[in-house]
Structure 1
Amino acid sequence: MELTIVWAFIIAFAVFAYVVMDGFDLGIGVLFPTFKVGPERDMAMNSIAPVWDGNETWLVLGGGGLFAAFPLAYAIVLPATYPLIIAMLLGLVFRGVAFEFRWRDPRHRAFWDWAFTGGSLVAAMAQGMILGALLQGITVVNRAYAGSWFDWLTPYTLLTGVGTTAGYALLGATWLVWKLEGTAQDHAHKLAFRAMLATGVLMGAVSLYNLALRPEYRDRWLTAPEIWFTWPIPVLTAIAGLFLWRALAKRKEVAPFLLSLALFALGMAGLGLTMWPDVVPPDVTIFDAAAPERSQIFMLIGVGITMPLIIAYTGWAYYVFRGKVGAEGYH
């Protein structure tokens, strides 16, 4: 049981790392059309050029870890969300291709800019809707998905999709406040204010919707003794939002991005408390879905070796390319 909990936290960490790292990449793509054609767009894209592809390592680790450590959950979630997963992967492909070709094919740069934005928007919406589909519950019969092709499409999943997209836009805007300068930074600062307001409103809407979504969710947040573990989350979220607003008002550069990361961390902690111990609500817990103990131990050895390496080279890449992107488009 303890090993299963360890693996649950490993998967949660990988998902969080992907969301916050690739999240600001996707957010920049969503905001990309608002920047002026020319140096502003070049600066925005070059701010993520050294790290964007490495950020997606965490998606592989999260998906692969789910398959290896919780194979039953993997076998249920994928058929339930196939259209969304296909859309997400195609969006990521279009974004990656556009990222490379906008530099190599200047004659069609306008097309590749829109492909970059479209791929980012589709991927962000799909990721948020996958989360919503998981939270609203998946029909399981005899340890297999028993729903229809479009069970994932509901008002709730659309709300979580828009909320995730707004959150990514906040991460992207605050990243650009940190990395850019001049008029591009001023524009990013205005976008960060708007994205902060949208994210706050949508986080609140999703939280309230969760209370009406399933009785067990409401019980975990509004009844004792669970409420003693859950009440700090909304309080800390409100405090982080207030500090973010003050940091943007004072035109801080680094603090808004770090506070945006804190909002995401608190949001994921809240979702974890909402679902615990389910991995596929409402019928499959992490203990039901876990791989055999020997398999978990074997994989844990591999993760113990590879995860520190991933963290090390990711940290090194961010360190090497620290600092601002100048008007010429380079660090």
Structure 2
Amino acid sequence: MSMETRRIGPLTVSAIGLGCMNLSHGYGPPPAEAEAVALLNRALDLGCTFLDTAAIYGVGGNERLLNRAVMHRRSEFTLASKCVLDAIDGKRVLDARPETIRRTLDDALLRLGTDRIDLYYLHRPDPQVPIEESVGELSRAIEAGKIRTIGLSEMNAPTIRRAHAVYPIAAVQSEYSPWVRNPEIAVLGACRELGIGFVAFSPVGRGMLTGTVRTPSYASGDMRNQLPRFQEPHFSHNLHEVARFETLAANAGVAPAQLALGWVLSRDETIVPIPGTRNIAYLEENLATAAVSIDDAVLAQVDALFTGDTVHGGRYSRDMQAMVTTETFPGELG
């Protein structure tokens, strides 16, 4: 099946991609491999041509999963992965030194079973390594034919500008949804100015904008156990605001997740959301959004709903926030 496409630098991808992280970790126990393989292939069957993984996802396991699941269909999709954020002895580390990037990339190519990654991100900024050195190493990987384009993830506008001055950046990836608006502070403006595509992860609010989260109780290993806005004293307030969002979706005749994705798609034609899911029915619902028409007046209501101090609580824990440089709103970090 075909789907509307969008451009990310020199890459042409489906208007809605697939974030693959939660097939290996992040939101509790991962699905059985057979279920994950079926979901990945169903995504390709439905015209999703943009798959996003990373070295840290499942500590390499997610890249190996994609190898087993869909590399026999390699010509059908654009492959994105990431380096710098990794795990050593079970602890997350940042290492953007050129020699580490080279090793991580070579390991990723082996895990994925491919000779080239289309979009390779610096997953997080490493405060110990100038961004110029890291981007320089990725530019050499392009020359060597190991990657096609360079991306940045969860970095602020000044860092994006410094990186782009070394080598053209194809995409910036950050969390963006109706209730996470941080990229609007400066990053989206920098991307528009520099001609960089924007990839929105968690575009349905880590499940909060899907109509499925009703209590602040999550499975063991679910990252939302550590995220302030998903826990009390913030959760009950946020759930009340989300109920208003769900009413807008019901009145518009679309699922809440489709309203969230439709809003993200409407923000700019250079934005590509990459919702993740472990459920094929939700996958089909998400991807169907590309063909759904939502009235501009409804989108304007969504835009107005989550502004100012509507949402309470930071989007990251203190430790996780220390690993990103994305701009924050006044009072967001408490």
User: Normalising by structure 2, what TM-score?
Assistant: 0.26
Higher strand share: 2
Structure with bigger helix share is 1
Q: Greater RCO between the two (CA within 8 Å, min separation 6)?
A: 1
Structure index of larger Rg: 1
